[in-house]
């Protein structure tokens, strides 16, 4: 796979960080472009896109092609989406306009992705589709799950001002084919991103990585939004940390029922969470910004897949009801 053109579709916190790393790489002859919107796009056009990495003395700043209309860009060798799960379906046609034969699409997503059951050998549900994740099957039909490279990001990031991104840590990204193959495309994409200075690993079991991260996301994201609490505040509160543990146990039970394997126990994950620091989750960031919350992939699908697998999820169901109402009120007031 020859990668000479890369478009980051959704150059927010994570997508924008990757764009800066790619565009600032010495010797990278690939054309880097971004699709963004609003004040963030205006700032990128006027002043470039800036990234302040964890512990860096000064930010990286790059100039790159930036647009809110993907149809003005030529077809790409590689598309990397930085959109949240609920933002993907409305962007399906725009993403499709960037595709040609052989284009791969790296989708950085939290939670259960729309392509989850494509070529899935871990469960008994291969090729199952969920309308909640992909209304009308638009993503499946227009982009196609066969183009997708799954990506699980362990990277705290935030847009602190239009055109300015701050990284909270030196994170990592895990890439994998839905089929479990370590394909030539996967290796080529991993090499390009590694050369840009990103911490990249590949895996034949990307679904295990999805569930491992989801164990934290399903607990911390909605609880932080409901309480406005930072990660440190949640873990310091005995009642909240106990609730986090209950949610993690439910997520683990659902994941295991679908064939996922977890490398950590719930107790180990809770202990790890105590050392993350005063981080604002992505859902809390969206709540404060008046944006729609990423509920279905993170919480709704745990409940839905629990029902599919006959695994009870009472705590997650309660949190789902509460955060759904919070999102309604937040959108009504924004």
| 123/88 Cα distance (integer angstroms) | 25
Q: Is the pLDDT of residue 309 over 80?
A: yes
Strand, helix or coil at 219?
helix
| 283/292 Cα distance (integer angstroms) | 9
| 266/215 Cα distance (integer angstroms) | 8
In this structure, the answer to whether residues 183 and 213 fall within a common structural domain is no
Question: What is the predicted pLDDT for the residue at 1?
Answer: 85
**Is residue 334 included in any domain, yes or no?**
no
In this structure, the answer to whether residues 73 and 196 fall within a common structural domain is yes
In this structure, the answer to whether residues 243 and 174 fall within a common structural domain is no
Please state, rounded to an integer, the average pLDDT across all residues of the chain: 94
Among the three residues 204, 220, 247, which one is the final residue of a domain in this structure? 204
* CB neighbourhood size of 188 (10 A): 16
In this structure, the answer to whether residues 192 and 291 fall within a common structural domain is no
Q: Is the pLDDT of residue 277 over 90?
A: no
| 248/214 Cα distance (integer angstroms) | 9
In this structure, the answer to whether residues 159 and 260 fall within a common structural domain is no
Question: What is the predicted pLDDT for the residue at 170?
Answer: 86
Average pLDDT over residues 255-269: 95
**Is residue 222 included in any domain, yes or no?**
yes
Among the three residues 182, 204, 226, which one is the final residue of a domain in this structure? 204
In this structure, the answer to whether residues 199 and 213 fall within a common structural domain is no
Q: Is the pLDDT of residue 26 over 90?
A: no
Question: Mind giving me the DSSP string for 220-251?
Answer: HHHHHHHHT--HHHHHHSHHHHHHHHHHHHHH
Give 82-108 pLDDT, tens digit per residue: 999 989 999 999 999 999 999 999 999
Give 280-307 pLDDT, tens digit per residue: 898 999 999 899 999 999 999 999 999 9
Question: What is the predicted pLDDT for the residue at 334?
Answer: 58
| Domain of 238, in residue numbers | 208-328
Question: What is the predicted pLDDT for the residue at 55?
Answer: 82
Among the three residues 172, 204, 236, which one is the final residue of a domain in this structure? 204
Question: What is the predicted pLDDT for the residue at 279?
Answer: 83
Average pLDDT over residues 15-24: 95
In this structure, the answer to whether residues 170 and 26 fall within a common structural domain is yes
Q: Which residue has the higher pLDDT, 57 or 249?
A: 249
Nearest-10 crossing angle of helices 266-273, 206-227: 50
In this structure, the answer to whether residues 19 and 136 fall within a common structural domain is yes
* Range scoring the smallest mean pLDDT among 6-10, 158-162, 179-183, 310-314: 158-162
Average pLDDT over residues 264-285: 89
DSSP character at residue 9: E
Assign 330 a pLDDT band (cuts: 50, 70, 90): confident
**Is residue 106 included in any domain, yes or no?**
yes
In this structure, the answer to whether residues 162 and 277 fall within a common structural domain is no
**Is residue 73 included in any domain, yes or no?**
yes
Question: What is the predicted pLDDT for the residue at 307?
Answer: 97
For the whole model, what pTM was predicted? 0.92
* CB neighbourhood size of 126 (10 A): 11
Catalytic residue among 71, 213, 246, 291: 213
Question: Mind giving me the DSSP string for 104-156?
Answer: EEEEE-SSS-TTTTTT--SSS-TT---TTTSGGGHHHHHT-GGGEEEEEEE--
Q: Is 213 a catalytic residue?
A: yes
In this structure, the answer to whether residues 165 and 219 fall within a common structural domain is no
**Is residue 262 included in any domain, yes or no?**
yes
Give 119-130 pLDDT, tens digit per residue: 998 899 999 999
Question: Mind giving me the DSSP string for 276-319?
Answer: S-SPPPHHHHHHHTTPPP--IIIIIHHHHHHHHTT---HHHHHH
In this structure, the answer to whether residues 85 and 152 fall within a common structural domain is yes
Partners of 35 in the beta sheet? 9, 67
CATH number at residue 81: 3.40.50.720
CATH number at residue 294: 1.10.1040.10
Q: Is the pLDDT of residue 201 over 90?
A: yes
Q: Nearest-CA neighbor of 264 among 277, 282, 245?
A: 245
Q: Is the pLDDT of residue 28 over 80?
A: no
Percent of the chain with pLDDT over 90: 86
Question: What is the predicted pLDDT for the residue at 25?
Answer: 84
**Is residue 333 included in any domain, yes or no?**
no
């Amino acid at each position: 796979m020859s990668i000479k053109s890369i478009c980051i579709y959704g150059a927010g916190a994570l997508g924008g960080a990757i764009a800066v790393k790619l565009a600032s790489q010495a010797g990278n002859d690939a054309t880097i472009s971004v699709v963004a919107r609003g004040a963030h796009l205006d700032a990128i056009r006027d002043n470039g896109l800036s990234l302040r990495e964890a512990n860096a003395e000064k930010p990286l700043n790059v100039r790159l092609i930036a647009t809110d209309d993907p149809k003005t860009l030529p077809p790409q060798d590689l598309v990397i989406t930085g959109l949240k799960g609920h933002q993907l379906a409305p962007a399906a046609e725009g993403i499709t306009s960037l595709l040609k034969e052989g284009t791969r699409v790296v989708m950085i997503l939290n939670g259960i992705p729309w392509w989850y059951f494509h070529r899935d050998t871990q469960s008994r549900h291969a090729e199952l589709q969920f309308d909640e994740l992909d209304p009308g099957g638009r993503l499946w039909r227009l982009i196609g799950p066969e183009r997708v490279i799954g990506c699980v990001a362990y990277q705290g990031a935030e847009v602190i001002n239009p055109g300015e991104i701050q990284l909270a840590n030196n994170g990592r990204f895990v890439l994998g084919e839905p089929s479990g193959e370590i394909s030539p495309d996967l290796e080529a994409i991993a090499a390009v991103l590694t050369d840009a200075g990103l911490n990249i690993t590949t895996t034949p079991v990307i679904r295990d990585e999805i569930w491992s991260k989801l164990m934290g996301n399903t607990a911390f994201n909605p609880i932080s939004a409901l309480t406005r609490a930072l990660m440190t505040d949640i873990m310091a509160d005995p009642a909240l940390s106990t609730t986090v543990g209950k949610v993690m146990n439910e997520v683990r039970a659902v994941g295991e029922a679908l064939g996922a394997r977890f490398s950590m126990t719930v107790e180990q994950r809770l202990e790890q969470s105590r050392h993350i620091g005063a981080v604002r989750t992505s859902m809390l960031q969206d709540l404060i910004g008046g944006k729609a919350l990423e509920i279905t992939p993170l919480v709704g699908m745990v409940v839905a897949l629990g029902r599919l697998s006959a695994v009870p999820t009472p705590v997650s169901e309660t949190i789902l009801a509460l955060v759904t109402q919070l999102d309604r009120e937040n959108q009504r007031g924004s």
